[in-house]
């Protein structure tokens, strides 16, 4: 079926990025809940059509359980809209931002997240010939079944070009070679190993609950870029994670792109293989994703309630 705006009933806003908004919608003809992403672009119809055609490749692609399903794309005026699978627990950044007594993501859960992410990235590359280009915790989504899936991968070269990436935001996951411009940020020369760097950085952020570079570095974007190029790469805390977990992350965060592990190597690594064994185990050795997820969701609720209370207090007329 073809999607259009008339068939979508808008629900709550799920989040807002640098380039647009994501809204929960109900596709009334089918009763399917979807996530609608709106990207504002100032483009002519020919360019918009080209983008829609490129996005439609996703329709024909074989699906993977580690990337979000794509339902279709359309444009209205100069906005591109695309509908994807709704992931009801949101993105991982919102679940690991500790401040309410959380103790960090347990190693077995982290391994499951890391393994799923690598499988998603490997699928994109092997089956679709696509390099993600925007690996970061806000683009790793989770649902109530504990499934972890990637979204926002660079399928459309035309869309990439049209979204002026002038706003790099206050936290960058860009690999050193992309910052220093040794490889130009163009479709042809962006290599798959740049995604491996972003993956390593994202896994540390998910583990420790904050962007891995020190706060001094991210208050000032230029200082941050300099730090990424000049300093040693961040590491997992060795007191909380096994040598295998730390080694896995370190093999992603090698500053020279050619030195980084490949997806195949990352999957064969002991850190992920241990998780595979648990996933296949028939005894009680399974990873308690549901237990971790329900705790993380409770902390998130508590945080939201706390912020709302602060806002209400600030807005209340003083007696």
Contact pattern from residue 129 through residue 148 relative to Mg ion, giving x for each residue in contact according to CB under 5 A and a dash for the rest: ----------x---------
Q: Of 134, 152, 195, 275, which is the active-site residue?
A: 134
Binding residue (CB under 6 A) for ligand ATP from 3, 8, 25, 35: 35
Nearer to Mg ion, 142 or 254 (CB): 142
Q: Is 255 annotated as a binding residue?
A: no
Binding of residue 68 to ligand ATP (CB under 6 A)? yes
Nearer to ligand ATP, 84 or 261 (CB): 84
> CB of 164: closest distance to ligand ATP in angstroms?
12
Instruction: Give the C-alpha separation, 250 to 228, whole Å.
Output: 15
Binding residue (CB under 6 A) for ligand ATP from 8, 52, 66, 91: 91
195 has catalytic annotation: no
The CB-side HSE value for 277 (13 A sphere, CA atoms) comes to 9
Q: Which stretch binds ligand ATP (CB under 6 A): 19-27, 120-128, 175-183, 230-238?
A: 19-27
Q: Which stretch binds ligand ATP (CB under 6 A): 11-19, 55-63, 180-188, 194-202?
A: 11-19
**And the tokens for 234?**
């961040």
37 closest CA partner among 85, 92, 81: 81
Distance (Å) of CA 98 to CA 139, 217, 220, 296:
19, 20, 23, 9
Binding residues for Mg ion, total number by CB under 5 A: 2
161 closest CA partner among 48, 36, 60, 288: 48
Stretch 95-134 residues interacting with ligand ATP (CB under 6 A):
none
**How many CB atoms neighbour CB 234 within 10 A?**
20
Buried b / exposed e along 119-144 (16+ C-beta atoms within 10 A): bbbbbbbeebebbbbbbbbbbbbbbe
Do residues 176 and 255 lie in contact, with contact meaning Cβ atoms separated by under 8 Å?
yes
Residues of this chain that bind Mg ion (CB under 5 A): 139, 152
Q: Binding site for ATP, residues?
A: 37
Which of the residues are catalytic? 134
């Amino acid at each position: 079926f073809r999607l259009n705006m008339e068939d979508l009933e808008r629900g709550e806003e799920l989040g807002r990025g640098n380039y647009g908004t994501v809204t929960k919608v109900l596709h009334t003809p089918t009763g399917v809940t979807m996530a609608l992403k709106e990207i504002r672009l100032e483009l002519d119809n020919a360019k918009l059509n080209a983008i829609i055609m490129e996005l439609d490749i996703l329709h024909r692609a074989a699906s993977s359980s580690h990337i979000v399903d794509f339902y279709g794309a359309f444009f209205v005026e100069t906005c591109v809209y695309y509908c994807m699978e709704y992931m009801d627990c949101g993105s991982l950044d919102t679940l690991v931002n500790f401040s309410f007594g959380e103790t960090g993501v347990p190693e077995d859960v982290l391994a499951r997240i890391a393994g799923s992410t690598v499988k998603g990235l490997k699928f994109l590359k092997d089956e679709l010939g696509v390099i993600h280009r925007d690996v970061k915790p806000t683009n790793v989504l989770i649902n109530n079944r504990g499934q972890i899936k990637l979204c926002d991968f660079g399928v459309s070269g035309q869309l990439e070009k049209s979204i002026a990436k002038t706003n790099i935001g206050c936290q960058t996951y860009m690999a050193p070679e992309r910052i220093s411009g040794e490889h130009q940020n163009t479709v042809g020369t962006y290599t798959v190993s740049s995604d491996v760097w972003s993956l390593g950085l994202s896994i540390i952020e998910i583990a420790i609950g904050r962007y891995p570079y020190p706060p001094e570095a991210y208050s000032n974007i230029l200082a941050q870029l300099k730090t990424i190029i000049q300093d040693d790469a961040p590491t997992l805390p060795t007191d909380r994670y096994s040598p295998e977990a730390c080694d896995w992350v370190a093999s992603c965060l090698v500053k020279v792109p050619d030195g980084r592990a490949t997806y195949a190597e990352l999957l064969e690594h002991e850190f992920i293989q241990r998780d595979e064994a648990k996933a296949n185990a028939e005894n009680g050795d399974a990873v308690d994703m549901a237990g971790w997820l329900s705790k993380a969701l409770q902390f998130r609720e508590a945080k939201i309630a706390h912020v709302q209370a602060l806002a209400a207090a600030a807005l209340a007329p003083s007696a």
